[in-house]
Structure 1
Amino acid sequence: MNPIAEQALARAMAKGAVPVPATAVQPAAPINPVPVAVQAEVVGHFDRLGFLEGRRHATEIVRSAGHSLNHQKGRLDVLDKLRRCAVGKPPSFARGVSEILELMEREVGHG
């Protein structure tokens, strides 16, 4: 736990601490959020960090294949691993994996 959280916890549990009602801390009326424009073409939540993590993860799968990429069966196994890796992941992560998957499919098609 960080030092600020430890201090807050110590103050809350100290003898003579008086509980503060929630109405004294929270505003009386909810604050209206500022409307934000939403892009129609984005499906789900896109997160740049998740996208980059997906690409990094897929790249590591390809690099770890090593010399097996010299054989057709090895290349097909790597493609299968990449497809399975994207299943059930957040959309941004899966999009990063699919970018590497597309590159691999193009190379397998040429080779």
Structure 2
Amino acid sequence: MTSAESSADGGRGFGGRRFVVVLYVLLVGVAALMGVLFTVTVDDPASPALFFLFELPPTALGFGLYGGVTIAVVLGVPLLFVVAVSTFVDDVDAVGRGDVESDGGGPSAESPKD
């Protein structure tokens, strides 16, 4: 088993899904920290509205929550779509091809991978 296979399967590597999850958590944490630091640098900020629905207090906790949740959703929703597509698509090379050969043999003579 190669290191790429072991890290993709949850082994002791730093690649694949583990890298994406760590990067996601790191970016959400940085956004929350920036929200907290915003209250330090700006005098008397207006209260943020999370998704234009929920009024949050104009405190360090309110802006930290606003930054973290907003970035978590903005990055998380497309990431969930990528995971869903990668789960349902078995063969990337077969996408969009209507004339898949059913002989079960190796690559065809017309295949660019030869």
TM-score, structure 1 length as denominator?
0.31
Q: Which has the higher contact order (CA 8 A, sep 6+)?
A: 1
TM-score under structure 2 normalisation? 0.30
